[in-house]
Chains A and B, each alone.
Chain A
Amino acid sequence: MKLKHRIYKLIDISGLQLFDPVARLFFREEPQVQIKRITQFIVIPILAFGLFLLVWQIMAPRHTTKSGEVPKPGRVLDAAKGIWTFHNREKEKSIAFIASSDEANKILDNAKNRLEEIESSLIPAQDETIANLEILEQEWRDKNISPKIKKAANIEYEINSKQNSLKTELEELAGSIKANDKNAKEELVLRLEKLELQKSKWKIELAELKGTISILESKKYPLLERAQRKKDRLEEEKQYLSVYIGILTKNRNSKVEELNKKLVDYSNSFYAAESTKVMSSAKRLVRQKTRIEKTSESQYSAAKTLPYQTLRSLLCVFTGFIIATIFAIPLGILCGLNKTFMCAFTPFIAIFKPVSPIVWLPIGLIVVGGFIPDPENNALLSIINKLPIFSSFDVNPAFLASAITVALCSLWPTLVNTALGVSSIDVDHLNVARVLNLRFRERLISVIIPSALPLIFAGLRISIGVGWMVLIAAELLASSEGIGKFVWDMFNNGSSDSFAQMFVVVFLVGGIGLLLDRIMIVFQRLVSFDETAPSV
């Protein structure tokens, strides 16, 4: 009995009210009501999403762009998997780079076996499949595509020949007209005008036909396409494995070992050196020592994968959000407490609130650039880069400018909500403070802030949503590493897969936004003292 209610409460507080009916159904509490709620809040949304996927699946192939077909849901899922595989491979590579020789040898065998397998059996087998499918494709093309192309080409030819024959006909007619035959001349002009009209119509028709033909020609046999993609993936893996094996055989430890061997030689020759060569061999020895030191600290420079970019974006949004909160809450409290201050501050809120991140960002970049002229040797940046979480993300001026942009855009909802929360405190609560003769600080801490807290958190929730939305645009513009940069790279890259990867980003950004919102709802629930739940 107690456990049951604890579970309900947990579901309520964790912001997962969606699963409340499931839990209640599990405990057999009014099953019919719960089933109705499950249908309403779980089954119907899932169905709606399914319908969306279906429409997508049907509509996508009908729209061909310069970057290829609009990817179907399956392609997007494949792209997501690809991104993840790439991320894992980069991780493997960086592990391989720092592995000890024993470990390296152990993994090396596996990698070599896999490479062998791919080279000798998987790729040839796939080539065979493709060859077979190409025959099938030819048949399919002959049966389904070629007749259509032929038909379209025929129509094209007919139109062209008709146009030509009419032209020659009129030319002949013109040649036969006598100089004083006014009627015939007028007749000719009329027919010429008609022909021009007809020509413009044909032009449109021909353009359409050309479009149809090119679409038909670019149509691929689905099975062949899939087989080719599979082969591409195998090729990719092959390439990865050869690089991986390269790293394993010549990783940090082996490099250091080699250098150490040389060091022994150098020191031997140093001690054996005659006075004329002492200085130069001593220098060589010292240089070798520093080289060893540097090598033993070196890391594999992994490519910036989407998971890495996502974490960096999250760090950036939190940095901006915290900067915004530090300013917004005290200012909001001041505005709420003091009418004069509120009046003084209103114009700033009114003017700066609607300013787009696109405007703040260049300003931020210039200001940050002004303060940090030399990012390599900047005291502030080196301090930030030594902080626990920041250290693995290489904070640069673009990161700071993006964070400041986020702060400037997400400041306002918190500020306005805090001011509202503070200024709309229940008069009764203030009377309590008056009766108790609470001093300003006591009143602030024990009455005003707790009373405004639910609204403050409502503001924070809006702020983080705004911040997340703004950040992607800011990163894209600042080309600060992060999700925005990833999208921009994909846009410029323009390979057939990059379109699908952009779709992956859409779902990723949406999912993270949802998650952030949920987290803020949980906080809001924890601080709100009235029974009414905040709107979902």
Chain B
Amino acid sequence: MSFLSISDVSVSFGVEDKKVEILNNINLDVAENEFVAIIGFSGSGKSTLISLLAGLQLPSYGEVALEGKPIVQPSPELGIMFQNYSLLPWLSVFENIELAVKKVFPSLTSIQRKTHIGKYIEMVNLTPAIDKKPSELSGGMRQRASLARTLSMEPKILLLDEPLSALDALTRSSIQDEILNIWEKEKRTVVMITNDVDEAVLMADRIVPLTIGPNASFGNDFNIPLKRPRNRTSLNSSPEYKKLKKEITKFMLNMNSENIKLNKKSISLPAVFEKSINEIGQEALIA
């Protein structure tokens, strides 16, 4: 039996004739300590999927189960990290995490709690901003605080809902590295939703594409057999990495063109050409 399983799950809204199928009969098994990335276009039902995993929403049909037990309500075991941080704005970073830790580990003494919180704030490199309010933090710092809060609950499974989509490219890559580092140190099952192929290939063990919704389902998965620990700079020149990226991008683009053929809703994409690292470097220099 797999650690996390999604079996025959469908989600639909509305009644009878106005029924909209968001997810249609999807199946997925995630092994313990596996890092799975689910990749899809926007509007393909990714957020619905993560809500199912977090127990914030229940499937219309089928079952989502963790260690064989069905997920029916949210709990600190299902550590979800929201797309828009969800920090409570009237609490400082420390207090935000404290609220979670107090609830999840009620037996800790105040000193133990303090060290526990401090450990996770240190882990995301946020110690200097420990007493700041979210409004005083940058987007990247807020997301780190959110990550620290989720990690501090020591969840069985980490659910990342497009955690980095609201960040600028530089912050994004540094937090990607951080998450990767933390994951490699403290192995944990991770399901990450993303729309970024680079991000998925860099971080995940396995990539599951989600077809274009409504009526979305999973395509064939891609295993990412790249060695760990992964390093952004060395990977960029690795032919295997390039090949995987190319394959997945091609698959996603094909999916879109199939959609056009099937007269389904399509998503117009800008023309994308592959650039060599040298070219990118030169552009960066010019900029």
Contacts and interface: CB of A to CB of B under 8 A. Distances in A.
Interface of A: 428-429, 431-432, 434-438, 442, 446-447, 450-451, 453, 527, 529-531
A530 B153 CA distance: 27
- A446, A451, A530 pick with most chain B CB within 10 angstroms: A446
B76 A435 contact: yes
Nearest to A531: B135
A446 B90 CA distance: 10
B54 A529 contact: no
A428 B86 contact: yes
A446 B75 contact: no
A435 B78 contact: yes
B138 to A, nearest CB: 14
B74 A435 contact: yes
Contacts of A431: 56, 74, 80, 82, 86
How many residues of B sit at the interface, in one of the four size bands? 20 to 34
A436 B76 contact: yes
A447 B75 contact: no
B103 A437 contact: yes
B20 interface: no
Nearest to A436: B103
A429 B103 contact: no
B220 to A, nearest CB: 32
Given A431-B56, A436-B104, A450 B88 contact: yes
B54 A435 contact: yes
Given A431-B56, A531-B135, A446 B99 contact: yes
Contact of A450 (B54, B56, B73, B90): B90
B89 A436 contact: no
Interface in B8-65: 54, 56
B100 A436 contact: yes
Contacts of A531: 135
Contacts of A436: 76, 99-100, 103-104, 153
B89 A530 contact: yes
A21 B45 CA distance: 52
5 contacts: A432-B86, A437-B75, A438-B103, A529-B89, A530-B135
A212 to B, nearest CB: 69
A529 B82 CA distance: 20
Contacts of B89: 529-530
Contact of B56 (A434, A438, A446, A527): A434
A446 B89 CA distance: 12
A435 B90 contact: no
Contacts of B113: none
A431 to B, nearest CB: 6
